[in-house]
Amino acid sequence: MSESATAPSHFIRNIVTEDRQNNKNNGRVHTRFPPEPNGYLHIGHAKSICLNFGLAAEFGGLCNLRFDDTNPSKEDVEYVESIKSDVRWLGFDWDDREFYASDYFEQLYRFAVELLESADAYVCDLSADEIRKHRGTLTEAGKESPYRARSVEENLDLFQRMRAGEFPDGSRTLRAKVDMASPNLNMRDPVMYRILRATHHRTGDKWCIYPTYDFAHGQSDSIEGITHSICTLEFEDHRPLYDWFLDKLKIHHPRQIEFARLNLTHTVLSKRKLLQLVQRGYVAGWDDPRMPTLAGIRRRGYTPESLRVFCERIGVAKRNSTVDVAMLEHCVREDLNRRAPRVMAVLRPLRVIITNYPEGQAEELEAVNNPEDPQMGTRKVPFSRVLYIEQDDFRETPPKGFFRLAPGREVRLRYAYIIKCDEVVKDPTSGAVIELRCSYDPETKSGSVQSGRKVKATLHWVSAAHAVEAEARLYDHLFAAENSDDVEEGADWTRNINPNSLETLASCRVEPCLKDAAPGDRYQFERLGYFCVDPVDSSDRKLVFNRTVTLRDAWAKAEKARKRE
């Protein structure tokens, strides 16, 4: 996987390249990632983070981390902390350039006063409701506020008193004097400041008026000397307003470029819905491994490298699109295939007795840690008379195309011997298969001269006496439908939540080398998938593995297709 070797062109990269060629900003490239600390970052943010930090790195520029914290009623330090650790985990560094829109409150206030002095803004006494009514509609022009013509002196006095706390919340606003007849609703005298008594996570109770995003964002970028303000499509309509403020204020003009936000199949990426999933208990928290949050994805076992490659591969464009989650899954598999050590683990154990293997005997067999990387060496795996294999690897009446174990059939045990199933032991009451009695061929030991004999399948296994117990959590898509909104009339999107998105297997048996696995360690359980030690619930007493993603499985696919017919 070559993260940097392939830098496919996209329109933003082209714009930046062109701007440099024209020596715009003296060839300087300075971007920023501007989250609002009102929720956890998700994979959609990762796209923006990779874009902003990536472009800066690529062109020898800088990228700031700036919190757009202009709405204290929704923001919290919990979120700023999680955002910082998520960005770091993704692999990016903002050095000492950690900024906050709230750092600029005083400056923003002065900007507002400037606009008041040039009669480009005014204090408006209309209520929220009245402002809405005056705004007009998509097809009709709005009406001017009766307070629009206040004198500069009166405006200055009123605004100063707004700041001083003389008026109740919501009683007045500061508005830009633009154009109530503009076809762009954002230009119909937008609110710049509102009166809001809320304790801000950084400025405390210093302010009782707060700038709106529209009045803060563009100027914040300008103050920081941002050259390319990259944001999502919905802000395209706001650009004329930002330009208007910057022009009136005669300050540095970043170039705003909008791109389409990421959508993924089988999940949701809206802050509102993610919040509801957490609050209504559909998931265990922001870091539930089924969540598309960076915290969840990280806990699930995804690597930051795979996320970065994913973000590079999906591209950047203005077209609304929904990326198939299979693309994401492909990226982790590709990365983990290269780096995850292989290990044998039996999720649903079926006991196997090797009848002709001496009781009490055990031997150490050599197993390769990663066939993709010989450097990773080998390890010893204990073999003995009583083993466990996967329940799925045995069928009493094998369907066509099934070439694993069945009565009378032979298979190879990985790194060990070829065994033959001689007898099936069932529970007398339930009829369930509870044990297999097999015989092994001592001549077929892995690596020996005779070992070349061909059998149709190789199974993973674990020695019963040596195995370590563990819990495995198997995850599936959070939403059964590709599109979470794809529900019948009147039904809620939560109807699409996949009731089987989590399956917990409490009595798995894993090979002994896993005993000392540390939280976060990633492995490939041969033939099953990639798993990582759950950083939260795993302990010395109880090993817990999260399945990051399954291996591609041609047999499972074929069987599924067969069932559909």
Partner RNA sequence: UGGGCGGUCGCCAAGCGGUAAGGCCCCGGACUUUGGAUCCGGUAUCGAAGGUUCGAAUCCUUCCCGCCCAGCCA
What is the footprint of RNA within residues 360-389 (CB under 7 A)? 370-372
Residue 500 CB burial class (10 angstroms; 0-12, 13-18, ≥19) = exposed
Give the footprint of RNA on residues 62-101 (CB under 7 A).
68, 70-71, 74
Q: Which of 250, 280, 319, 541 binds RNA (CB under 7 A)?
A: 319
Give the footprint of RNA on residues 100-139 (CB under 7 A).
126-128, 131-132, 135, 137-139
Q: Judge contact between 194 and 212, C-beta under 8 A.
A: yes
The CA distances from residue 348 to 20, 368, 417, 509, 539, in Å, are 59, 23, 21, 8, 21
Spatial separation of the C-alpha atoms in residues 441 and 410, rounded to whole Å: 10
Sole window of 113-121, 143-151, 207-215, 463-471 interacting with RNA (rule: CB under 7 A): 207-215
- Nearer Cβ to RNA, position 288 or 306? 306
CB of 482 to RNA, least distance (A): 9
Q: Per rule CB under 7 A, is residue 327 in the interface with RNA?
A: yes
Q: Is 247 helix (H, G, I), strand (E, B) or coil?
A: helix
Q: How, if at all, do strands 98-100 and 121-124 pair?
A: unpaired
Q: Which of 152, 185, 425, 434 binds RNA (CB under 7 A)?
A: 185
- Nearer Cβ to RNA, position 324 or 364? 324
CA 313 to chain centre: 15
CB of 429 to RNA, least distance (A): 29
Q: Which of 81, 205, 236, 486 binds RNA (CB under 7 A)?
A: 236
Q: Per rule CB under 7 A, is residue 355 in the interface with RNA?
A: no
Q: Judge contact between 532 and 521, C-beta under 8 A.
A: yes
Decide if 206 is catalytic: no
Number of residues that bind RNA (CB under 7 A): 95
Spatial separation of the C-alpha atoms in residues 286 and 271, rounded to whole Å: 11
Which residue(s) pair with 173 in the sheet? Answer: 124, 194
Decide if 271 is catalytic: yes
Q: Judge contact between 338 and 1, C-beta under 8 A.
A: yes
Q: Which of 412, 477, 509, 547 binds RNA (CB under 7 A)?
A: 412
Residue 66's nearest CA partner among 206, 213, 180, 176 is 213
- Nearer Cβ to RNA, position 269 or 288? 269
Spatial separation of the C-alpha atoms in residues 413 and 526, rounded to whole Å: 12
The owner of tokens 């040039």 is 118
Q: Which candidate in 20, 32, 36, 194 is catalytic? A: 36
Q: Per rule CB under 7 A, is residue 170 in the interface with RNA?
A: yes
CB of 542 to RNA, least distance (A): 25
Spatial separation of the C-alpha atoms in residues 188 and 542, rounded to whole Å: 61
Q: Per rule CB under 7 A, is residue 313 in the interface with RNA?
A: yes
Sole window of 17-25, 105-113, 143-151, 314-322 interacting with RNA (rule: CB under 7 A): 314-322
- Nearer Cβ to RNA, position 120 or 559? 559
Q: Per rule CB under 7 A, is residue 261 in the interface with RNA?
A: no
Counts of helices then strands in the chain (DSSP H, E): 13, 25
Q: Per rule CB under 7 A, is residue 441 in the interface with RNA?
A: no
Q: Per rule CB under 7 A, is residue 183 in the interface with RNA?
A: yes
Give the footprint of RNA on residues 33-62 (CB under 7 A).
36
Give the footprint of RNA on residues 493-512 (CB under 7 A).
none
CB of 449 to RNA, least distance (A): 10
Q: Per rule CB under 7 A, is residue 408 in the interface with RNA?
A: no
Sole window of 112-120, 435-443, 453-461, 541-549 interacting with RNA (rule: CB under 7 A): 453-461
Q: Is 146 helix (H, G, I), strand (E, B) or coil?
A: coil
Sole window of 51-59, 89-97, 399-407, 507-515 interacting with RNA (rule: CB under 7 A): 399-407
Q: Which of 45, 299, 409, 445 binds RNA (CB under 7 A)?
A: 445
Sole window of 17-25, 85-93, 104-112, 321-329 interacting with RNA (rule: CB under 7 A): 321-329
- Nearer Cβ to RNA, position 172 or 547? 172
- Nearer Cβ to RNA, position 288 or 479? 479
What secondary structure letter does DSSP report for 254?
Answer: P
Residue 528's nearest CA partner among 470, 487, 447, 486 is 470
Q: How, if at all, do strands 522-525 and 342-343 pair?
A: parallel
Q: Which of 317, 362, 434, 491 binds RNA (CB under 7 A)?
A: 317
CB of 447 to RNA, least distance (A): 5
Decide if 261 is catalytic: yes
Q: Per rule CB under 7 A, is residue 7 in the interface with RNA?
A: no
Q: Which two tokens stand for residue 71?
A: 């709405």
Sole window of 184-192, 375-383, 423-431, 512-520 interacting with RNA (rule: CB under 7 A): 184-192
Q: List phi, psi (to 5°) of 230.
A: -90, 125
- Nearer Cβ to RNA, position 298 or 527? 527
Contacts 24+ apart (CB under 8 A), 190-197: 190/214, 190/215, 190/241, 191/131, 191/215, 192/112, 192/115, 192/121, 193/112, 193/159, 193/162, 194/170, 195/162, 195/167, 195/168, 195/169, 195/170, 195/171, 196/72, 196/73, 196/169, 196/170, 197/165, 197/169
Just list the catalytic residues.
36, 261, 271
